[in-house]
């Protein structure tokens, strides 16, 4: 198998050449704490980070994640490998780590298309769709909506979902599918290009893994039992890059509960470009679109040219991202201070940084 078949295109080739990493590059297909699985021309093997790699990493985002291209050295005749560095990422999906910690988490790297999956049945939520689209736009990944379980709703309910998506001004391509009847599956198979990388994002239980099994034509991956409706239980527990028979690469992921905004300002602007367009005509360039005179956004809202909930969500996401960005910057400042402190202590003790 050629590396190009698992996504190694000219862009990555250039990167590898620039860094002088000739032959030994491989792709990370799974991560389990500090254990990695990588795929090369021969197949999949286990890999570990070198001590130096760990020592020089400054944050979690410096560590490899699923989809990353890494340079490796092989041991025991290629039975396992050590990872020396990560090639620059062409694209990545990141969010704020769940919970109170203000930190970035890279979910997957070098993705071409993100399938944003929601169930037509219980999970459908336009505001959450917008969050996922922000994440994709921010990471330079093309978003595509997959609405599953069409077998559980009637044609009228389906039409109302389409209307809600359109009304929110979401332009992303939408595919309706059912893993039960098979509707839409062929469409997905056809649109997946060999050598391109796709991933499945969405809540737990929407049918991500079932879809992969459908596409693989067997039931190799564990899905939730039909009788099991246990809330909050995740069936898929790790991210995994799968090479499909027709050549597409697909990453399965555990369901996500939280999708916090951090450093997502550009992604928000791209996602809400309708708001951006209207705001160009506001009288004041720094208009907050609240109650300033001559606000074109307020005018568009009054004339129903802009959806009110869509706009409220825009404000909410902006505020959330700005708030987290501030805390993050504050934290980095402290980290830098700590770095300087360590450096000066080492200096006074006559140690060099390399010691």
Ligand X SMILES: Nc1nc2c(ncn2[C@@H]2O[C@H](COP(=O)(O)OP(=O)(O)OP(=O)(O)O)[C@@H](O)[C@H]2O)c(=O)[nH]1
- How many Å is the Cα radius of gyration of the chain? 23
Whether the CB-CB separation of 255 and 205 falls below 8 Å is answered with: yes
Identify residues 188-217 at the interface with ligand X (CB under 6 A).
204-210
Q: How far is the CB of 239 from Mg ion (least distance, A)?
A: 10
Per-residue binding string, ligand X, 253-282, x by CB under 6 A, is -xx---------------------------
35: exposed, middle or buried (Cβ count in 10 Å: 0-12, 13-18, 19+)? exposed
Alpha carbon distance 67, 106 (integer Å): 11
295's contact among Zn ion, Mg ion, ligand X, none, with CB below 5 to 8 A by partner kind, is: Zn ion
Per-residue binding string, Zn ion, 282-321, x by CB under 5 A, is x----x-x-----x-x------------------------
Of 137 and 148, CB closest to Mg ion? 148
Of 222 and 309, CB closest to Mg ion? 222
Identify residues 190-209 at the interface with Mg ion (CB under 5 A).
208-209
Alpha carbon distance 91, 78 (integer Å): 29
- Could you give the 3-state DSSP secondary structure of residue 12? helix
142's contact among Mg ion, ligand X, Zn ion, none, with CB below 5 to 8 A by partner kind, is: none
- For residue 187, state whether it binds ligand X (rule: CB under 6 A): no
- Could you give the 3-state DSSP secondary structure of residue 60? helix
Alpha carbon distance 243, 233 (integer Å): 26
51: exposed, middle or buried (Cβ count in 10 Å: 0-12, 13-18, 19+)? exposed
Q: How far is the CB of 331 from ligand X (least distance, A)?
A: 30
Which residues are at the interface with Zn ion (CB under 5 A)? 282, 287, 289, 295, 297
Which residues are at the interface with ligand X (CB under 6 A)? 148-149, 151-152, 178-180, 204-210, 223-224, 226, 234-236, 254-255
């Amino acid at each position: 198998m050629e590396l190009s078949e698992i996504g190694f295109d000219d862009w990555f080739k250039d990167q590898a050449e620039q860094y002088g990493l000739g032959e030994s590059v491989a792709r990370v297909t799974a991560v389990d704490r500090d254990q990695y699985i990588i795929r090369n021309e021969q197949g999949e093997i286990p890999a570990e980070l070198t001590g130096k790699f760990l020592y020089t990493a400054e944050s979690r985002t410096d560590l490899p994640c699923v989809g990353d291209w890494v340079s490796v050295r092989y041991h025991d005749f290629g039975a396992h490998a050590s990872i020396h560095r990560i090639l620059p990422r062409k694209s990545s999906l990141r969010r704020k780590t769940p919970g109170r910690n203000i930190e970035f988490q890279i979910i997957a790297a070098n993705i071409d298309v993100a399938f944003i999956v929601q169930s037509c049945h219980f999970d459908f939520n336009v505001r959450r769709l917008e969050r996922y689209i922000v994440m994709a736009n921010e990471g330079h990944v093309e978003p595509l909506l997959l609405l599953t379980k069409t077998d559980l709703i009637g044609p009228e309910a389906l039409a109302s979902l389409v209307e809600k998506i359109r009304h929110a001004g979401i332009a992303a391509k939408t595919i309706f599918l059912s893993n039960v009847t098979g509707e839409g599956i062929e469409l997905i198979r056809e649109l997946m290009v060999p050598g391109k990388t796709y991933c499945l994002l969405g809540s737990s239980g929407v049918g991500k893994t079932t879809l992969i099994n459908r596409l693989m034509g067997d039931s190799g991956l564990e899905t939730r039992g039909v009788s099991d409706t246990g809330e909050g239980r995740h069936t898929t527990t790790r991210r995994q890059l799968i090479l499909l028979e027709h050549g597409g690469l697909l990453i399965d992921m555990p369901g996500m509960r939280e999708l916090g905004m951090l450093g997502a300002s550009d992604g928000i602007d791209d996602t809400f470009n309708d708001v951006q367009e209207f705001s160009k005509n506001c009288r004041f360039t720094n208009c907050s679109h609240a109650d300033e005179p001559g606000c074109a956004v307020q005018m568009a809202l009054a004339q129903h040219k802009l959806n009110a909930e869509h706009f409220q969500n825009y404000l909410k996401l902006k505020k959330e991202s700005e708030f987290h960005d501030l805390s993050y910057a504050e934290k980095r400042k402290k980290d830098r201070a700590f770095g300087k402190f360590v450096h000066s202590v080492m200096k006074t003790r006559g140690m060099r940084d390399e010691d």
